[in-house]
Structure 1
């Protein structure tokens, strides 16, 4: 009877330690969310309609946004 009691106690301790370890991993696994002010404006390319960050935009003389210089040239050729 004592052997069953010790086995139950050991299994309970192992189970508790594993559950705490799993919850600690789950808390650390979530990536941090960027602050709202860190969000960048997205623009749509006038040629292919793909959205891209405004910092990567290529503009023509009329301030139309393009995702690349190649798309700017192709749009001007039409």
Structure 2
């Protein structure tokens, strides 16, 4: 009986200690805001998909780089 009483006292002490420490912790930080999806476009020359913000506009569509824009505009003249 003495052993059970001692075990109960230790358990109660640990529970109170844990509860006290938990209340002193700062609140959890909010999770990072969700990333907004970006519109993806395909390069008119090679078909590579990339975010519209990174694409280069040109005659005939958007391109993944200056080299593809120049090559496309050279091989596909207007008119």
How high is the TM-score relative to the length of structure 2?
0.52
Segments of 4+ moved more than 6 angstroms: 17-21
Q: What's the CA shift for 1:7?
A: 1.0
Q: Mark the CA change 1:19 to 1:6 in structure 2 (over 3 Å): closer, same or farther.
A: same
Q: What's the CA shift for 1:69?
A: 0.7
Which structure 1 segments of 5+ residues have no match?
none
2:9 is the counterpart of 1:12: no
CA root-mean-square deviation? 3.5
Question: Rg bigger for which structure?
Answer: 2
Alignment coverage as a number of residue pairs: 70
How high is the TM-score relative to the length of structure 1?
0.52
